[in-house]
Amino acid sequence: ARSIDPRSPLPDVASAEMARRRRDAAGAKAHYESALALTRDKDSRESILKVLGGMALDANDLPGASAYLGSLKRERPGDSFLRAEIARIYGRHGALEAALAEWRSVRKAAKGDTPQIVQALKEEGALLLKLDRDAESEKAYRRALSMVAADNWNVREIRERLVEIHRRRDDLRSLLKEFERSWKRKGYEEWKLLARLYDEVGLEEKAIAAYRKAIKKRRKDSGVRLALIRLFERVGRIDDVVAEYKRLIAAFPDEPRHSIELADLLYRRQQPSRAMKLLDRMARKHGRDPSVLTALADAYTRYGENDRALKTYERLVRLEPGEESHLISLGEQQSLMGDDEKANKT
């Protein structure tokens, strides 16, 4: 290929990639540099410089990486998106201080571009956290938070990072007090976060009240309802668990998983008739849904309700006669009930 067109960089690029696959870093570097010297296309030059920069970082050659990535900057002077990409290259390869310096350069060059400044501050905060410089990380995140509106999509992420920082220093209660004091108007996100933090620090009653307020703000969020159920389970308020499951099922009538979980709970509480009534109602409602019927059959089997399990497996076979797993389950159920002749035929 070189003899056909000695000015083409493609043979060197191909040789470099082959060398990398052989883990021959020195050979790959030499071929990439040869390709770079022959390349005039800007996009191709940038691609090669990114690879060379990453390889240098993998070899712990920070000066070499800085040279390659510096050349990359000169390909597109003043391009903030390229500077951000270079910062991410440093970060991906573990050069955290260099990545931090790049992000700070991106932020300083942004000059009034709030979204870009906020992004840079978030990246700085994350890197500072990895460097165990928690106080500086918190300062960066708080500055970012001060620059966005309360309903901005960045707010949730930044709050989570503040929670992480305070958790690391075992100081969630002070953050909770700050949130309580500063959030004059609380919406769904605020109540949800407060509930989770109350729960984490052991303030169960406050957590319960906050979860209920979050549910009131957004009734169609199963995650918050399930979190409240788990809290009730941990503190042993089983009647409340049952009541919340009923509310959950009413809010999500087409989600059978919740009904099966409630049936499991009722069965553990020595209330098999209530559990069976709930599952039988599911069987009638979802009688043509194989995934639901499979879960029901498993539940019936767990409870020793062999006749119900058998009828459910038979229904599954009628619905999907070509599904091998249904036939196997039916045969196993028949064998379990002592009908080996039918089991063998199945």
pLDDT, tens digit (0-9, with 9 covering 90-100), for 233-283: 999 999 999 999 999 999 998 888 999 999 999 988 899 899 999 999 988
Q: Looking at the predicted structure, is the pLDDT value of residue 5 above 80? A: no
- Which pair of structure tokens corresponds to residue 75? 């390909």
Q: In the prediction, which pLDDT does 8 show?
A: 84
Dist CA 169 CA 180 (whole Å):
20
Alpha-carbon dihedral of residues 320, 322, 323, 327, nearest 10 degrees?
Answer: 90
Q: Looking at the predicted structure, is the pLDDT value of residue 1 above 60? A: no
Residue among 268, 239, 245 at smallest CA distance from 257: 245
Q: In the prediction, which pLDDT does 115 show?
A: 95
Q: In the prediction, which pLDDT does 339 show?
A: 80
Q: Looking at the predicted structure, is the pLDDT value of residue 102 above 90? A: yes
More confident residue, 195 or 3: 195
pLDDT, tens digit (0-9, with 9 covering 90-100), for 56-72: 999 999 999 999 999 99
How far, rounded to the nearest angstrom, does the alpha carbon of residue 181 sit from its chain's CA centroid? 30
Label residue 164 exposed, middle or buried (CB < 10 Å: 0-12, 13-18, 19+).
Answer: middle
* Region of poorest pLDDT, from 81-85, 98-102, 326-330: 326-330
Q: Looking at the predicted structure, is the pLDDT value of residue 2 above 70? A: no
More confident residue, 7 or 218: 218
Label residue 48 exposed, middle or buried (CB < 10 Å: 0-12, 13-18, 19+).
Answer: buried
Q: In the prediction, which pLDDT does 274 show?
A: 92
Q: In the prediction, which pLDDT does 82 show?
A: 94
Whether residue 31 contacts residue 19, with contact meaning beta carbons closer than 8 Å, is answered with yes
Q: In the prediction, which pLDDT does 105 show?
A: 94
Name the region of 323 (left: φ>0; alpha: ψ -120 to 50; beta: rest): beta
Residue among 261, 256, 263, 262 at smallest CA distance from 287: 256
Q: In the prediction, which pLDDT does 6 show?
A: 65
Q: In the prediction, which pLDDT does 111 show?
A: 87
Q: How confident is the model at residue 307 (pLDDT cuts 50, 70, 90)?
A: very high
Q: In the prediction, which pLDDT does 139 show?
A: 98
pTM of the model: 0.81
Mean pLDDT for all residues in the chain = 93
Residue among 259, 331, 334 at smallest CA distance from 289: 259
Q: In the prediction, which pLDDT does 169 show?
A: 94
More confident residue, 159 or 111: 159
Q: What percent of the chain stands above pLDDT 70?
A: 98
Q: In the prediction, which pLDDT does 3 show?
A: 53
